Structure 1
Amino acid sequence: MTKRVGYADIAAHYRQKIDDGDLQPSERMPTMEAVRDHFEVSMATVNRAYKLLKAEGYTTSRPGSSTVVAVRPRIVATGAARLERLQRTGKHYAPDETSTDHVSMLRSCGDPDIAEQLGVDLHDEIVIRRRVFRREGRPTVVALSCIHPRALGSMPELMTQGQLKPFWQTTYTQRTGREVKRSPERRGARLASADELKSLEVNVPATAAVPVLVLHTTFHDEEGPLEVWEDVYAPGLWQVAND
């Protein structure tokens, strides 16, 4: 039996096209009639899908009743969604997205949660790779990769400054034969540090308390935890995962 297409399925289809850059900012969306005919659904179903995309900030209305892709969406993909896009399309970035301030270092792990997820003792030395994602030049995410030091045996390049291409886990799997798997994302919130606010270009008094959304993604291989991603999102942004 063929699965019935619903409005959420249609929204997910166009959401992915926008995230992958197949539909560019300011580009006109397909007409509702064309979408109706393509998916063989009712106009009411298409209308609900388009309303959902607009409510999520992916699209906007333009004079003349047309719908276009939003120029500056308040949406930033999760780390897992970025990885899925890379695996699906080979694209490291969403449209108008870049990353800057790539830094690699060996540091004592002072975060009990990160230490527990990585399976190391508090204050053990780990590899940290840091970068800032930007959309149209504006910072959106401060991203940390906290990597178990055992990975250095196969990937000494982890200490290289700047962006690593291809994605380091891909090279790690090729060299070791160990498949890397991802655990479900964990979402939380906390107050941003002064360093995070500076990186996100949030200008507030030194005594201000600014809550931020934080997302952790843990990766494992057959030997145990390998890497933890910590993404800190700029205030006022939506955070979404792929469907």
Structure 2
Amino acid sequence: MTKIGYAEIAAELRKQMQNGQLNPGDRIPSLNAIQEQYGVTVTTANRAFKQLKAEGLTYAKPGVGTVVAARPRSAATGAARIDRLNATGKPFVPEETATDHMAVIRGCNDDDIIEQLRIEPFEEVVIRRRTFRRNDVPYALGLSFIHQRALRDVPEITQAGPLQPFWQKTYTERTGKEITRSPERRTARLAAGYELEALEVPAPAHAAVPVLVLHTTFYDEDGPIELWEDVYTPGFWQESTE
């Protein structure tokens, strides 16, 4: 049996913070509880606590213990949102929301989307758009580009509002086809005007504003079925479960 180390314990607690099982202000398990849960020494448990504190994720609150710190400029990645949904059934932690939902069907002429979805130029895709917010501050513009073959089984994806349950779950239930995801891919580019507007970034006309962009591709047994593009507000940092 492989002995668990402090890094693995810290990673598990970090993941619970990211998926909403532990929220800002919550007390994390005590050193004794960690020792009993993972079968480790107090030294190992304490090293895990020190690691989280060094990362700015926790702090000692007199009379309470070690609690989760607020992270107002942190931003969940797409993978983290999926993992949170699977772990808790909740798409957001308490301080998060999504607004400005939109859904359209359009021909696609973006070379990267065409390559990732393996479609022909100007082939129609379903585009779903929403703005993710933390404490009512936009942190990411989320766009989903969904292969038109998904319409056969989940026509609801053209609805503008949030889909409950998550459309991929409905697709799997109706088709029996499991959906997997690629590793997240990160790049940077200059933001488009509509992206700055959605993210409420004040910038002069024609200003060059660099933004972080994250792509995640989803597949079923027939190939790519969805591409996520998250465009992050300058100044936010990411949280990922990977």
Fold agreement, TM-score > 0.5: yes
**Structure 1 residue 30: deviation in Å?**
3.5
In 2, are the aligned partners of 1:191 and 1:210 still within 8 Å (CA)? yes
In 2, are the aligned partners of 1:200 and 1:234 still within 8 Å (CA)? yes
- Taking a change above 3 Å as real, the CA distance of residues 40 and 178 of structure 1, as seen in their structure-2 partners, is closer
Map of 2:20 onto structure 1: 21
- Taking a change above 3 Å as real, the CA distance of residues 45 and 89 of structure 1, as seen in their structure-2 partners, is same
In 2, are the aligned partners of 1:57 and 1:73 still within 8 Å (CA)? no
Map of 2:149 onto structure 1: 150
SS of the aligned residue for 1:126 comes to strand
Amino acid corresponding to residue 23 of structure 2 in structure 1: Q
Aligned-partner Cα distance in 2 for 1:153–1:41:
52
SS of the aligned residue for 2:10 comes to helix
Map of 2:210 onto structure 1: 211
Map of 1:8 onto structure 2: 7
**Structure 1 residue 37: deviation in Å?**
5.2
**Structure 1 residue 142: deviation in Å?**
0.7
- Taking a change above 3 Å as real, the CA distance of residues 204 and 29 of structure 1, as seen in their structure-2 partners, is same
Amino acid corresponding to residue 133 of structure 1 in structure 2: F
Aligned-partner Cα distance in 2 for 1:7–1:128:
43
- Taking a change above 3 Å as real, the CA distance of residues 120 and 55 of structure 1, as seen in their structure-2 partners, is farther
* Farther-moved stretch of structure 1 (87-96 vs 37-46): 37-46
Q: How many residues align?
A: 242
In 1, are the aligned partners of 2:102 and 2:161 still within 8 Å (CA)? yes
CA deviation vs aligned residue, 1:170-210 (integer Å, no higher than 9, x gap):
11122222222212221111112121112112212224322
CA deviation vs aligned residue, 1:1-38 (integer Å, no higher than 9, x gap):
2x222221111121122223332212233444543454
CA deviation vs aligned residue, 1:138-188 (integer Å, no higher than 9, x gap):
111111110111111212111111011111111112222222221222111
**Structure 1 residue 218: deviation in Å?**
0.8
In 1, are the aligned partners of 2:19 and 2:83 still within 8 Å (CA)? no
- Taking a change above 3 Å as real, the CA distance of residues 92 and 65 of structure 1, as seen in their structure-2 partners, is closer
Pairs within 5 Å for 1:44-193: 44-62=43-61, 66-193=65-192
**Structure 1 residue 117: deviation in Å?**
0.4
Aligned-partner Cα distance in 1 for 2:64–2:157:
50
- Taking a change above 3 Å as real, the CA distance of residues 221 and 59 of structure 1, as seen in their structure-2 partners, is same
Aligned-partner Cα distance in 1 for 2:44–2:232:
33
Amino acid corresponding to residue 83 of structure 2 in structure 1: E
**Structure 1 residue 53: deviation in Å?**
2.2
Residue 231 of structure 2 corresponds to residue 232 of structure 1: yes
Amino acid corresponding to residue 26 of structure 1 in structure 2: G
Amino acid corresponding to residue 8 of structure 2 in structure 1: D
**Structure 1 residue 45: deviation in Å?**
3.4
How high is the TM-score relative to the length of structure 1?
0.89
Aligned-partner Cα distance in 2 for 1:99–1:170:
19
* Farther-moved stretch of structure 1 (136-145 vs 40-49): 40-49
SS of the aligned residue for 1:117 comes to helix
Aligned-partner Cα distance in 2 for 1:55–1:142:
30
- Taking a change above 3 Å as real, the CA distance of residues 92 and 17 of structure 1, as seen in their structure-2 partners, is same
Map of 1:195 onto structure 2: 194
Residue 220 of structure 2 corresponds to residue 221 of structure 1: yes
In 1, are the aligned partners of 2:26 and 2:67 still within 8 Å (CA)? yes
Amino acid corresponding to residue 46 of structure 1 in structure 2: A
Q: Which runs of 5+ in 2 are unaligned?
A: none
